[in-house]
Structure 1
Amino acid sequence: MADHLYELLSPHLPSTETNISRDPTTIQYLNRLPTLSLQALQTTEPQSLTQSAYSTLLSLQALSNRSHKSFIASADSLSNLHASIPNLTRQAQELRDVIPNLDKEAVRFSSKYSRAADNATLEQRKKVMRLSRNVDRISDILELPTLLATAVSSAAASSGNAGTSFSTTYSAALDLYAHIKRLQTLYPDSPLVKDVAAQAEDAMKEMTSNLITTLRSQNLRLAAAMRTVGWLRRVAPELDALHGDGGASMGGGALGALFLVCRLANLVSTLEALDPLRELADQEKQRRTRSLDQKSGTGSWASGHQTEKYLKRYIEIFREQSFAIVSLYKNIFTPDQSESDTAIQGLRGIDARIKTPSQADRKLDPFQCLPPALATFPTHLVQLLTDTLQTYLPNIQDKTARESLLTQVLYCAASLGRLGGDFSMILTELDETDDDETGGLAYEWEEVMRKHRALAGRLEQLTGANPTNPTGSSKGTLQATSLAAA
């Protein structure tokens, strides 16, 4: 029915609407027309069509106003569709061509970073990642040599002060060094730790030099000396090495000898401060020598007043410093009984010698053990004193002044004798001078010793006669010596 109606109406339709017969809406409307009456077709249907067209127009206007941008974009896309499709085809072809290369690179990456076997690349990446995680710790380790050098420099700068900061700074430096050595023990193959340890060794060498300089300082007290020696034992344990095959301590090892050498250097520098007096004494010696050569008698030159001042001050310094050195050594190193006996035998008398090793010791050590440093050190001290006395004492013509100086030497010998180093018998073998000016030095020394013993004996009798003094014999000698020294 709809087809027949369309054939009837097609002559009256515009040429552009000839293909609307296949439209479902058109077919539905043509099927509806036969159901209407003629009167409805003439009256109500045109009005209904007009109303529907107007309603449709309003809907299209509202839709255009609301979605005109989408319509424009759709129109643009539709206009570019003929160019986009070839472009998409070309890109799809390119993607298909690169897929084999991508697969090849994926296989190569998988084989390169495979965990099936030891992979050098992965190990290197692990090291880099581990380094990144531990960068703070490594930075702390790298700062250790700088901190150590700063601590050593600060301690050296404050070494002149007697406060506790000096001790604390050195202790902190030693703790840092012990930590570095611990790291070196834990990681012996690490180049970083080896480099840090090498820098720490340089700082410890500087610290050792500073400590040795401290041992040479003036007015070194027992507490400071013990602290310094203790630090040296920690910094340079090789200085405290054992001597001999028996493993027994021999006077603090090389550290004890180093201590004595440093204190001897201080003594020599203190005595060198007397150079102005020594130069005057040398001038008197030259005048005395010229006087003896010219046989002009004793009145042509001074009687040695400047030499007396020099020797008096020299003996005072020698007495004080020698007693302090030996006393400090004994208090710091505390040798055992066998060493003490050996040291005392080496100190007493001019014929004292070091014990000869037994045959068993010779077999163990064919070169024999070195003697303790304290056994030979006082001999060197006494040699300094005797050389000075032999050189300058003949300048003094006044017998009373000579006896006063020799008495002062006797008290010096008694002072060292309290530590086992009495050298009172050494001066008896000095070279005697038979000229009328000076007389025999050994004879004068014997006279001074005889007078001193007589005075000590009388004082001992006085103190021994007191019934309230049960130990008068031992105290009498001490009182005699103290009285004579006063």
Structure 2
Amino acid sequence: MADSILEVLSPHLDSNGPPPPSSSRTSPSLSTDATALKYMNRLTTLSLDSLKSTEPQSISHSAHSTLLSLQALSNRSHKAFIASSDHLSNLQGLIPSLSQEVKKLQNEIPKLDEEAVRFSTRYSKAGENPVLDRRRKAMQLSRNVDRISDILELPALLSTAVSSSAAASGPAAGSLSTNKYSTALDLYSHIKRLQTLYPDSPLVNDIVLQAEDAMKDMTTNLITGLRAQNIRLAAAMRTVGWLRRVAPELENPRGNGGSTSDEGAFGALFLVCRLASLVSTLEALDPLRELADQETKRRTEAPSSEQRSSNSAKTNAWSGGQQTERFLKRYIEIYREQSFAIVSLYKNIFTTEPSSDTELITASISGLKTQPPPKQAKKIDPLQTLPPTVATFPIHLVRLLTDTLRTYLPNVRDKSSRESLLTQVLYCAASLGRLGGDFSMILTELEAEDEEEGEDEESEADGELVREWEQVMRKHRALAGKLEQLTNGPSSAANATKGLLPVSS
């Protein structure tokens, strides 16, 4: 029904409506317009009166509403309409330019493909390229930056450990100092291991140089520790052990493998440090030494024996040597304690060949020449290996004491005081005698040395001194024999009379 009405009304609507579209624009006809069909179906449902009265008003009202809606829409979106219109007008020129750009892109694709192939060929992982090598190294450095920072901190950690161990050294902080030195040695061993693994690395070589400077400071601290007063055996053994690890080249300084013992140069270093400690301790007696020097000066400037009786009333007459006695008594006490401690520490720290150490010490003091052990004859060294340092060290110790006695003992004129001092010297000789360094017979040579100097009065005094020394030794041996006979029997008494057993004071 609606189709039929549309066919009837179609000529009237086309003639009264807008002009038909051009051939290039196609629009649907009224017969196919869904809105028109829907409206025609609605018209068929209305009566004739409604068509004449209400329908025109409804259509007018709808047209007015639609007009108002279009006006509101135009007011709100006129900018978008204008922009759309502009773009639509430019679309005709943009489509040809887009076509040209597409053609140009098609022409450039082969060149792009060639460049991609060339880049992949040049920078492939299979070939060698400096740019890739630098990039690879930079990436590897970025991945290992934490490890490198840890390696760079090793010299600072080593220096801190060495400095803190030196600050913590002392009798009250032995364990702390031990831990710090052990940590420093472990760090240095790790650095040397890195040098072994990476010998061509400039970074590792620089770190090794800094570590060696820190270890030089540690060696200085250890040598200073060996010069400390009243050092214990455990501390001395630890210090020597650390020195062996810090300076292994001192194990065999000659580099020919001809060492007669395991001490290397450490034995001489230890004895020199302990001797320096002994000398510094004896230097503390300088105030008493100055008083003794004044008595020596007064003794040497005193008048001869013929004029002494006439000038006995003078106030500047020389006294009996009380200050010298005080000085010598304290000197001998320190010497006895320190000398025995030095040699005993040496013998406990450094392992030497059995039964040869004591013989070498005794022979060096008595002036005898000891035949070398049989196995030393097989050495190829043309200069022959040197004996242990302890074999010649007691000579210097004894000379230090004898020079002091030769200088100051004549000042003491009181016989009982001299006997007391000589008894102290005898006890000192007996202490070293336990270690094979008995020097009791050396003082008997003072008389011969003084006679060669041509001083009659001094030689006479020294001869009296030697006789007193011999008497003290006889009394000492007799007393030792009696004591040993009461305690251990006649066999021990025989040894005591030979002066081989020490007697306590």
Kindly indicate whether residue 144 of structure 2 is the aligned counterpart of residue 134 of structure 1: yes
Q: Return the alpha-carbon distance in structure 2 between the equivalents of residues 91 and 80 of structure 1.
A: 15
Match of 1:278 among 289, 292, 314: 289
Q: Could you say if the C-alpha distance between residues 198 and 244 of structure 1 is closer, same or farther in structure 2, counting changes exceeding 3 Å?
A: closer
1:197-276 equivalences under 5 Å are 197-241=208-252, 245=256, 247-250=258-261, 252-276=263-287
Residues 151 and 170 in structure 1, CA contact (< 8 A), matched pair in contact too: yes
Q: Could you say if the C-alpha distance between residues 289 and 86 of structure 1 is closer, same or farther in structure 2, counting changes exceeding 3 Å?
A: farther
Kindly indicate whether residue 312 of structure 2 is the aligned counterpart of residue 302 of structure 1: no
1:379-418 equivalences under 5 Å are 379-418=395-434
**Of 326-335 and 301-310, the range deviating more from structure 2:** 301-310
Paired position in structure 2 for 1:79: 86
After superposition, the CA RMSD in angstroms is 4.3
Deviations 1:190-241 (A, max 9, x none): 2222222221111111111101000001111111111111111111112222
Q: Return the alpha-carbon distance in structure 1 between the equivalents of residues 56 and 280 of structure 2.
A: 135
Residues 361 and 392 in structure 2, CA contact (< 8 A), matched pair in contact too: no
Deviations 1:85-119 (A, max 9, x none): 54676577568379477556545533442223122
Residues 396 and 438 in structure 1, CA contact (< 8 A), matched pair in contact too: no
TM-score (norm 1): 0.82
Q: Return the alpha-carbon distance in structure 1 between the equivalents of residues 13 and 472 of structure 2.
A: 173
Kindly indicate whether residue 149 of structure 2 is the aligned counterpart of residue 149 of structure 1: no
Residues 358 and 436 in structure 2, CA contact (< 8 A), matched pair in contact too: no
Q: Return the alpha-carbon distance in structure 1 between the equivalents of residues 234 and 67 of structure 2.
A: 111
Secondary structure at 2:266's aligned position in 1?
helix
Residues 227 and 277 in structure 2, CA contact (< 8 A), matched pair in contact too: yes
Deviations 1:222-268 (A, max 9, x none): 11111111111111112222768565553611111100000000011
Q: Return the alpha-carbon distance in structure 2 between the equivalents of residues 286 and 275 of structure 1.
A: 16
Kindly indicate whether residue 128 of structure 2 is the aligned counterpart of residue 118 of structure 1: yes
Secondary structure at 2:302's aligned position in 1?
helix
Paired position in structure 2 for 1:325: 342
Match of 2:182 among 165, 171, 179: 171
Q: Return the alpha-carbon distance in structure 2 between the equivalents of residues 405 and 319 of structure 1.
A: 12
Q: Return the alpha-carbon distance in structure 1 between the equivalents of residues 176 and 341 of structure 2.
A: 26
TM-score (norm 2): 0.79
Residues 464 and 472 in structure 1, CA contact (< 8 A), matched pair in contact too: yes
Extract unaligned runs of 5+ from structure 2: 38-45
Paired position in structure 2 for 1:432: 450
Paired position in structure 1 for 2:42: none
Paired position in structure 1 for 2:392: 376
Deviations 1:31-77 (A, max 9, x none): 9xxxxxxxx99988888798678778878977998999788635522
Residues 430 and 502 in structure 2, CA contact (< 8 A), matched pair in contact too: no
Q: Could you say if the C-alpha distance between residues 244 and 172 of structure 1 is closer, same or farther in structure 2, counting changes exceeding 3 Å?
A: closer
Q: Return the alpha-carbon distance in structure 1 between the equivalents of residues 398 and 429 of structure 2.
A: 9
Q: Return the alpha-carbon distance in structure 2 between the equivalents of residues 68 and 116 of structure 1.
A: 69
Q: Return the alpha-carbon distance in structure 1 between the equivalents of residues 256 and 47 of structure 2.
A: 143
How many pairs are equivalent? 477
Paired position in structure 2 for 1:337: 354
Extract unaligned runs of 5+ from structure 1: 32-39
Residues 260 and 387 in structure 2, CA contact (< 8 A), matched pair in contact too: no
Residues 215 and 263 in structure 1, CA contact (< 8 A), matched pair in contact too: yes
Residues 308 and 396 in structure 1, CA contact (< 8 A), matched pair in contact too: yes
Q: Return the alpha-carbon distance in structure 2 between the equivalents of residues 339 and 74 of structure 1.
A: 120
Paired position in structure 2 for 1:195: 206
**Of 279-288 and 264-273, the range deviating more from structure 2:** 279-288
**What letter corresponds to residue 175 of structure 1 in structure 2?**
D
1:45-124 equivalences under 5 Å are 73=80, 75-83=82-90, 86=93, 96=104, 99=108, 106-107=116-117, 109-124=119-134
